Structure 1
Amino acid sequence: MMRRAYLLLPLLLALAGCGDSNVQEVRNWMKEVDAQTQPTVQPLSEPKKFVPFAYAPVEQTDPFNPNKLLTELAKARPGGGLQPDTNRRKEFLEGFPLDAMKMVGTMEKDRQMYGLLQIDRTVYQVRPGQHAGQNFGLITSVSEDAIAVKEIVQDAAGDWVERMSKLELQESKENTK
């Protein structure tokens, strides 16, 4: 019996804590503070008046017309109308990029200097005036240590510009030993 009394004692103490002891005081205090407190809300400013823009496409240029844009770009191009000749027949060496070509030597035939270009395992003779490379390259000069190539490429704006490249003589491994 005593044992039951000890078990019920904590239960009775827990239930006593749930009583309405000081809750009424807190509720009265909250009502007082709520009655005395006045909220301060700043008024919103008036919204700005929207004035729509009336676009008259008949009187002005349509900014989204691609034909008008291309016409204006063509007028403003500083390239002077430089373009590659796409109607001429391509030469054999125009099928390879310049970085796949290696200058391996020179030779002179009939007082004309020829450059020797190696592509894969084949060696080709080239002279000024011939075309080489995939960017409309024209060989402008051949010297003992380099072949100069003038390429016509498009820049970021789409204009055709000239770019000078040089294929320099590659020292063979047999000569360095």
Structure 2
Amino acid sequence: MRLIFALSFSLLLAGCSADTSDLQQFIARVQTSTPPPIEPYPEFEPVPAFQYSAENLRSPYERPKNQGLDVQELTQNSCAQPDLTRAREPLEAYGTDALTIQGFFTSKNKNWVLITASDGSLHRATVGDHLGLFFGRITRIENDTVYYTEQLPDGAGCWQVENSKLTMSQGAGEANNV
């Protein structure tokens, strides 16, 4: 074993000779060769400075000043308004397009519906329970359909009542208005 080690070590030392003449020749050849020509940088034309002329106008990040016009409050007391003080129910955290009916059952002469939300949670509901983002309220449960009303804002401070339904055959994202 020592003999093999000694032979391989001596071969390694023999490979490290001081003869670097081929390396010296390569360096000399590279130094004497002419470098490739470098193209000059292109001349750039100066761009004229932009003159901002709107410094006297209102900033787009500020509210317009009241110009003497009376601002009317958008909420009107003479039209339908949802009860904003009532505690929200769990199914009101989801849009009706994110709800899927899984089944129906009757308990103590009361119809119930099993509804799955888009996050996979299962909920049960009956007539009078709320669902959806727009103050929806279940009005009727029949066979494979849940009928409900929603209160949708009309943009003028009032809320319009709209009838809609969910059926067992429609999946999430297929809300169907009546």
Using the size of structure 1 for normalisation, the TM-score is: 0.52
1:152 partner amino acid: Q
Identity %: 26
Residue in 1 that maps onto 2:105: 107
More helix by share: 1
Q: What does residue range 1-177 of structure 1 map to in structure 2 within 5 Å? A: 64-66=69-71, 69-70=72-73, 74=76, 80-120=78-118, 121-170=120-169
Unaligned regions of 5+ residues in structure 2, if any?
1-66, 172-178
The residue matched to 1:93 in structure 2 has which SS?
helix
Using the size of structure 2 for normalisation, the TM-score is: 0.52
Residue in 1 that maps onto 2:58: none
Residue in 1 that maps onto 2:174: none
Question: Are 2:100 and 2:170, in contact at CA under 8 Å, matched by a contact in 1?
Answer: no
Q: Which has the larger radius of gyration?
A: 1
Deviation at 1:111, TM superposition (A): 1.0
Runs of 4 or more consecutive aligned structure 1 residues displaced over 6 Å after TM superposition? none
| Distance in 2 (alpha carbons) for counterparts of 1:125 and 1:159 | 31
Deviation at 1:155, TM superposition (A): 1.0
| Distance in 2 (alpha carbons) for counterparts of 1:169 and 1:154 | 28
Deviation at 1:98, TM superposition (A): 0.6
Unaligned regions of 5+ residues in structure 1, if any?
1-61, 173-177
Q: How many residues align?
A: 104
The residue matched to 1:116 in structure 2 has which SS?
strand
